[in-house]
Amino acid sequence: MKKIRDAQTIIGMLEGGELAAALGSEITDTLAKLKEMSGNRPKNKVKGSVTLKIGFEVDAGTVEVSCDIDSKRPKPERGRSFYWVLDDGSLSTEHPQQTDMFAGPRAADSRN
């Protein structure tokens, strides 16, 4: 009777060896994405995880093993934009209470 007690051997056998390959790929992909998101900056920490969940169902001396691989990666940071909101709810790139000094010449005040 062959007994299998080593976790590495058990994981390597599951799903005909395909589970171990998928787990390795998920780890590699997660690390590559985290490295990309860190931007190679020395003090920029980015965290993620890979989880292997193994389920067991025992029935009359047999066991059925089901597995799930889950990874968590932070969402990439998105840029921000700045606008002014006008009274009618529209957006403007110009401050509504300032005149545009680059719009060209304006008519001179004729009160002289």
Give the single-character DSSP code of 89.
S
Residue 40 placed within a domain: yes
**pLDDT at res. 103:** 65
Largest CA distance in the chain: 111
Residue 93: pLDDT above 80? yes
The Cα 67–Cα 91 span in angstroms is: 50
With H, G, I as helix, E, B as strand and everything else as coil, classify residue 24: helix
Q: Which of 60, 33, 58 lies closest to 48, judged by CA? A: 33
Residue 67: pLDDT above 80? yes
Residue 81 placed within a domain: no
* Domain region containing 39: 7-72
Residue 47 placed within a domain: yes
Residue 100 placed within a domain: no
| Residue range 9-65, pLDDT digits in tens | 999 999 999 999 999 999 999 999 998 888 877 778 889 999 999 999 999 999 999
pTM of this prediction exceeds 0.85:
no
Residue 105 placed within a domain: no
Residue 14 placed within a domain: yes
Residue 107 placed within a domain: no
Residue 17 placed within a domain: yes
**pLDDT at res. 52:** 97
Number of domains in the chain: 1
The Cα 27–Cα 25 span in angstroms is: 5
Give the single-character DSSP code of 75.
P
